Amino acid sequence: MESVFSNVVRAPEDPILGVTVAYNNDPSPAKLNLGVGAYRTEEGKPLVLDVVRRAEQQLVNDPSRVKEYIPIAGLADFNKLSAKLILGADSPAIQESRVATIQCLSGTGSLRVGAEFLKKHYHQSVIFIPKPTWGNHPKVFNLAGLSVEYYRYYDPSTRGLDFQGLLEDLGAAPSGAIVLLHACAHNPTGVDPTSEQWEQIRQLIRSKSLLPFFDSAYQGFASGSLDTDAHSVRTFVADGGECLIAQSYAKNMGLYGERVGALSIVCKSSDVASKVESQVKLVVRPMYSSPPIHGASIVATILKSSDMYNDWTIELKGMADRIISMRQQLFEALQAKGTPGDWSHIIKQIGMFTFTGLNKEQVAFMTKEFHIYMTSDGRISMAGLSSKTVSHLVEAIHAAVTRVA
């Protein structure tokens, strides 16, 4: 008997997650996975932070804790502390109660809830996103009913920022359009504007009444400093204007599978913020009703305790420093090998990913000949690299650059 679903065609593999599937199926002992967007230790193992284990133990040992539903907006402590983390303890927006914060399902969920809210309550339904950007961004915004346009961001010839193109494209955007900005550690390129460039971007966005929507997936994970990595967001909030911020604790607390994030909407007044929060809750209720309790409790436990918070910042800086050190080691090894080309972009870029500048054919060659896995655009996860595997990667890059056009 024929299925009522027989007309369903098989969906293509997710291009990023598909890299890991291919890696897992490769029996070679020399295989190396540089596609995964998750931190790995020098030994190539996933890391659970010590401070996270301590917070979990504390929660488990508390007999008063129950598994009841939490409110639609999530844990109040978590929301308050998340807004403080991204906006700063002394933020006037927080002091004046102008921020509506909702606990969401990590960064992706925060973006989706924010997009659904904007589609329903904002007068513009076009969002400008950088070219390139994280592969899920256009899907999230399209499915929420927004129309996606691109602004120039990356210049392949310099492997840096196309700042002129960015200014021209945002300058030509319709008044009131939404603009997606990566708060720091742009994914996939690792290329961030300087603070002077951020100031020019802010002035342009405000002069055109564009609405900034920040995706903050790497606070503290890029530079090792929570404040430095929040600079772009705080610059926009300091001018009194409105914006949205999606936060994720996947990378900076290593809580990938716990799906912990927050959506903050900074408004002009506390009255508007309270109305906005009431409407965001109406987006959440028919979508997943209320968020999970465990991950948010871990985050709130850590952020509430000054001892745990300090320990977290040390562990966080340790992760960031390891990635910065891998950039240095890779750059120096390519120089020592005499690999053709200028590889200085590896140490200029920041965060988990490096946009190598390798083309699709070179990537395919490295996978086939050297069992090195990465996305076809040449993005590699620096966190997947270790001192032991740098030489293998350098051999592969050198061969790809010299043998494949």
Q: Which active-site residues does the annotation give?
A: 134, 215, 251
Q: At what angle do helices 163-171 and 195-207 cross, to 10 degrees?
A: 10
Kindly report the number of other CB atoms within 10 A of residue 270's CB atom: 14
- CA 14 distance to own-chain centroid: 17
Question: From CA 300, how far away is CA 368, in angstroms rounded?
Answer: 45
Question: What region does 91 belong to: left with phi over 0, alpha with psi -120 to 50, or beta?
Answer: beta
Separation CA 258–CA 197 (nearest Å): 35
Lookup result for tokens 């120096």: 332
Question: Which among 111, 109, 108, 101 has a CA at the least distance from the CA of 303?
Answer: 101
How close are the terminal C-alpha atoms of the chain, in Å? 52
Rounded to 5, what percent of the chain is helix, strand, coil? 45, 15, 40
Token readout for 185 is: 């550690």
Residue 321 host element (H or E): helix 306-337
Question: Rounded to whole angstroms, how far apart are CA atoms 347 and 299?
Answer: 31
Q: Name the pairing type of β-strands 353-355 and 372-373.
A: unpaired
Write the DSSP symbol of residue 158.
T
Chain centroid to Cα 351, Å, comes to 10
Residue 130, Cβ density class (10 Å: 0-12 exposed, 13-18 middle, ≥19 buried): buried
Torsion of CA 86, 70, 46, 365, to 10 degrees: -80
Specify whether the CB–CB gap between 136 and 107 falls below 8 A. no
**CA distances, 145 to each of 117, 214, 252, 336 (Å):** 10, 19, 30, 50
